[in-house]
């Protein structure tokens, strides 16, 4: 359900706010801002036609946050400089995900048809720790890397609202599978958000609005990382190839369709765990198989 908190309007995403959609925010200040335009295409079009939009902000560069950005052609686009490059071309986009050449063809049509991808350059970079006054509404920019290098959370100071972006507190847990995602930075960013006092928390996916976030909710969210660690280490008691690990379905728990989408997600996230294990000398890799040491 759409909800208003002073000048901030929460727009729930289709598919209960879950991928391939997200929840959007519309801020009615002297400057009218739409944050993450991937909720409902018809609703966003009506906002543009009736109330107006001066600028679109992206919390980060992922497709489930820019799906309907094409509606706002000609409007200023704001995003962290660290996340701007993937929007400049589809090749840059696939590079940022770390997709192999043979993984890209199935995605190309989807990116154009479902996500309405159009190359875009940022008109203005959102800078870490800056305060943006929209006229009666002051927003503090909180740099929260890990999910993406430039992932941005927002704190609406007068309202006490903390926009978490994709650190969404869902049961799936954090995503850190991009080429430049960082597992440890993800943990640091979640703990940074956890320490901020707020009256209301808004996330990009799922329920979206929380009037309280008890400690065990943060614990469960980060605990997904520990659970993946434990399952992977247990599986690596015997030598395993990366293909074996993907087929284990530690991230998504079971086989899902489309297979190429979920295979990529398993490989991407498990690769981050493997790299961290190797760095900590918990796992050895001989060029073909991984095994617990």
- H or E stretch covering 19: none
User: Phi and psi (nearest 5°) for 205?
Assistant: -135, 165
Average pLDDT score over the chain: 97
In 157-235, which ranges are E strands? Answer: 161-165, 200-203, 209-210
Q: Is residue 136 scored above 90 in pLDDT?
A: no
Which positions ≥6 away from 255 have C-beta within 8 Å?
A: 249, 262
Q: What angle do CA 137, 141, 147 make, to 5 degrees?
A: 135
Strand runs labelled E in 205-263: 209-210
Note the pLDDT of residue 179: 97
Per-residue pLDDT at 112 exceeds 90: yes
Q: How far is CA 158 from the centre of its chain?
A: 25
pLDDT at residue 106, as a whole number? 87
Give the 3-state secondary structure of residue 99: coil
Mean pLDDT of 151-163: 97
What pLDDT does residue 72 have? Answer: 98
Domains of the chain are: 3-213 (3.60.15.10), 236-292 (no CATH)
Among 220, 145, 148, CA closest to 177: 148
The CA-CA-CA angle for residues 90, 65, 129, to 5°, reads 105
For residue 224, what is the DSSP state? H
Strand (E) or helix (H) holding 5: strand 3-5
- pLDDT of 62 > 90? The answer is yes
Helices 215-235 and 259-279 cross at an angle (nearest 10°) of: 90
- pLDDT tens digits for 213-223? 999 999 999 99
For 51-58, what is the mean pLDDT? 98
What DSSP string describes 212-254? ---HHHHHHHHHHHHHHHHHHHHHTTS-B-HHHHHHHTTTTSS
C-beta separation of 77 from 120 below 8 A: yes
The residues pairing with 162 across neighbouring beta strands, listed in sequence order, are 155, 201
Pairing between strand 161-165 and 200-203? parallel
Q: Per-residue confidence at 33, pLDDT binned at 50, 70, 90?
A: very high
- The per-residue pLDDT for range 144-156, each reduced to its tens digit, is 999 999 999 999 9
Q: What is the pLDDT of residue 34?
A: 98
Asked if 283 and 236 touch (Cβ cutoff 8 Å), the reply is: yes
Question: pLDDT for 189-199, tens place per residue?
Answer: 999 999 999 99
pLDDT 10s digits, 215-272: 999 999 999 999 999 999 999 999 999 999 999 999 999 999 988 899 999 999 999 9
- Mean pLDDT of the 171-175 span: 97
* CA-CA-CA-CA dihedral for 194, 184, 94, 284, to nearest 10: -150
In 3D space, the residue among 167, 119, 148, 140 whose CA is nearest the CA of residue 60 turns out to be 148
């Amino acid at each position: 359900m759409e909800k208003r908190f002073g000048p901030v309007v929460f727009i729930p995403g289709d598919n209960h706010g879950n991928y391939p959609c997200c929840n959007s925010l519309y801020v009615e200040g002297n400057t009218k801002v739409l944050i993450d335009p991937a909720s409902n295409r018809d609703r966003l079009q009506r906002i543009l036609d009736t109330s107006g939009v001066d600028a679109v902000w992206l919390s980060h560069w992922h497709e489930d946050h820019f799906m309907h950005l094409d509606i706002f052609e000609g409007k200023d686009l704001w995003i962290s400089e660290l996340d701007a490059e993937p929007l400049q071309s589809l090749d840059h986009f696939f590079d940022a995900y770390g997709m192999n050449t043979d993984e890209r063809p199935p995605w190309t049509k989807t990116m154009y048809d479902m996500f309405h991808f159009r190359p875009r350059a940022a008109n203005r970079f959102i800078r870490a720790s800056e305060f943006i006054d929209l006229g009666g509404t002051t927003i503090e920019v909180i740099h929260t890397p890990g999910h993406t290098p430039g992932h941005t959370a927002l704190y609406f100071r007068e309202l006490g609202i903390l926009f978490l972006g994709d650190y969404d507190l869902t049961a799936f847990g954090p995503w850190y599978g991009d080429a430049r995602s960082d597992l440890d930075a993800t943990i640091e960013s979640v703990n940074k958000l956890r320490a901020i006092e707020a009256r209301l928390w808004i996330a990009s996916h799922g329920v979206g609005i929380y009037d309280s976030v008890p400690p065990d909710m943060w614990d469960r969210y980060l605990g997904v990382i520990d659970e993946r660690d434990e399952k992977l280490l247990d599986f690596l008691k015997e030598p395993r190839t990366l293909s074996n690990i993907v087929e284990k379905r530690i991230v998504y728990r079971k086989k899902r369709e489309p297979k190429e989408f979920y295979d990529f997600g398993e490989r991407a996230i498990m690769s981050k765990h493997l790299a961290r294990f190797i760095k900590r000398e918990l796992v050895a890799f001989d060029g073909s198989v991984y095994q617990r040491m």
